[in-house]
A and B are shown apart, each in its own frame.
Chain A
Amino acid sequence: MENKDREILRLLKTDGEKAMEIIYSDYYNYLCHATYKILNDSVTTEDIVQDVLMEIWKKREILDITISLKAYMRRASINKALNHLRGKRMQFEDDDKYTETFVDSDDSHQKLEFNEFSDMINGSIESLPEKCRMVFSMSRFESMTYQEIASALDISIKTVENQISKALKILRKDLSDYKMKGNSIKIS
């Protein structure tokens, strides 16, 4: 565990408010970004992160964290986000039917015009269809397996495969369009 985490955990027990001030200033944005990548909903994201931090506050006297505090809070936020999604019981079946035509016809995906490569990648991910982006993000940013994504969203592995495949096809197409315009992709 980092020294900073140790200090925050010590402060939580001795000067809780100071500890929370540090947590908010140093970790709030990080937690929101991680959660937003899954939810794509700023209001729910901030509510969830607030809930997580409020729980830290309430349990500050008895909190016993052995992993990094940052990792603990990120895991708690993502878990809450996944619970939220599971509660929404989204229907993926209709999406599955149109996976192929959707990408091939390319009439539903927003056309992107970007000068910077990083903007192109960001825009391309953000304009993925909601469920497709969500499944892709779970794999890309939370390293969740097909099985884990299927369980988290209460959908079949086949549906996860369809969504991953769709996401990659769309992203590849955007990348290819970007390159065709003679743009460089050396930006890391």
Chain B
Amino acid sequence: MKQFDNMVLIHKHLTGQLSSEEKQAYEAWLLDNENQSNVEEISQVWSKTAAYEPTSFEPNATAAYHKFKNSIEKESAPSTKVIRLHPLRWVARIAAGLVFVISALFLFQSDLINGDKYEAPIVASSILQHGLSDGSNVVLAENASLEVDNRFGEQTRKVKLEGKAFFDIQRNESLPFIIKMGKSELEVLGTSFNVNVVGQISTVEVKSGVVEVRAKTKTEKLTVGQKAVVNFEKDEIELNKTEQSAFNWTKSVLSVESVSVVQLFDELEKYYNVNIELNPNVDQSCTLTSPLAGNSSIDQIFDVLKETYDLIYEKQSNDRYEIKFLSCK
């Protein structure tokens, strides 16, 4: 016969969790008078512990309220400073032919819901890579629009998105990155993921890290390989698996045109995870167009560049190249 812990049986009896087998064992065990006194003692313990109030902890509601008030005042403090979209390397790398930023007539757009103010939206006429001042990167799909909170990087890391984008967020424990997707929200500390916002329905696919998505009242935490469809109006979050190929669309962003030598080789270094050194004989004033394609190897790229430009390079190892000479004249 199965052995039961009598203490657990009493507890389950008190909390109404006895299974029929346990109930049988409990009743049999209870026939002994001594056991009945055990039950009485434990029942008494159980009953008396209901009144427990922590003695060693006295929360300070007044201090907590002041802390809360300070933090909302900081958030709502008017800011006249326009945080420029940071001229990071990522921005510098953006191929001119791909970039079409709509500089709206207004500088700020108010978010009526919570008083947030955003810089003029960046609208991608085709795939566009964009660096944010906190070191995070965004790849916007065609027609996607990104608005950056004008206090971005200082008191908040909030952006608004319409359309599809891939985010690679720089980790910052003290300042979560928040993406407003219509009325729903997404919050992360540092991770990478796809977001597609169409009206009030947003789709989130996680490539790395953890992403928290929020509908009206519901919240879900997504991890690597998970996908969520958030319907704000219906307050629904539907979870599914995502495919690794879901992130392939971002690769075409590397089809850069008309970029400087430094930009091009920076891009190649990052894309192929190699080290490329530029010899002083390289003419850095050149503007190049690289035939980058998702499936080409770095060697194939160098071959094409060699045919297109006056290029001499040396492959020093599998992940190390030196550009000995480059001229575009």
Contacts and interface: CB of A to CB of B under 8 A. Distances in A.
B216 A21 contact: no
Contact of B49 (A54, A64, A140, A176): A140
Given A42-B59, A121-B48, A145-B17, A24 B54 contact: no
Contacts of A57: 68, 72
Interface string A107-146: 0000000000111011101100000000000011101011
Interface string A1-28: 0000000000000000100110011001
B67 interface: yes
Contacts of B245: none
Interface residues of A, number: 52
Given A61-B114, A62-B216, A188-B51, 15 more contacts: A25-B61, A46-B64, A53-B68, A54-B71, A64-B216, A64-B217, A118-B51, A122-B52, A126-B54, A126-B55, A145-B17, A162-B5, A165-B8, A168-B10, A185-B48
Interface of A: 17, 20-21, 24-25, 28-29, 32-33, 36-37, 42, 45-46, 49-50, 53-54, 57-59, 61-65, 117-119, 121-123, 125-126, 139-141, 143, 145-146, 161-162, 164-165, 168-169, 171-172, 175-176, 185, 188
Interface in B82-97: none
Contact of B64 (A24, A62, A63, A169): A24
B53 interface: yes
A132 B122 CA distance: 54
A145 B19 CA distance: 13
The 10 tightest CB contacts between A and B, nearest first, are: A32-B59, A24-B65, A28-B61, A165-B7, A42-B57, A171-B45, A161-B8, A168-B7, A122-B55, A165-B5
B105 interface: no
A185 B49 CA distance: 12
B65 A146 contact: no
A165 B3 CA distance: 14
Contacts of A63: 217
Interface residues of B, number: 38
Contacts, number: 118
Interface of B: 5, 7-8, 10-12, 15, 17, 41-42, 44-46, 48-57, 59, 61-62, 64-65, 67-69, 71-72, 113-114, 183, 216-217
B15 to A, nearest CB: 7
B7 to A, nearest CB: 4
Contacts of A161: 5, 8
A36 B5 CA distance: 29
Nearest to A83: B221
Given A64-B216, A185-B48, A168 B11 contact: yes
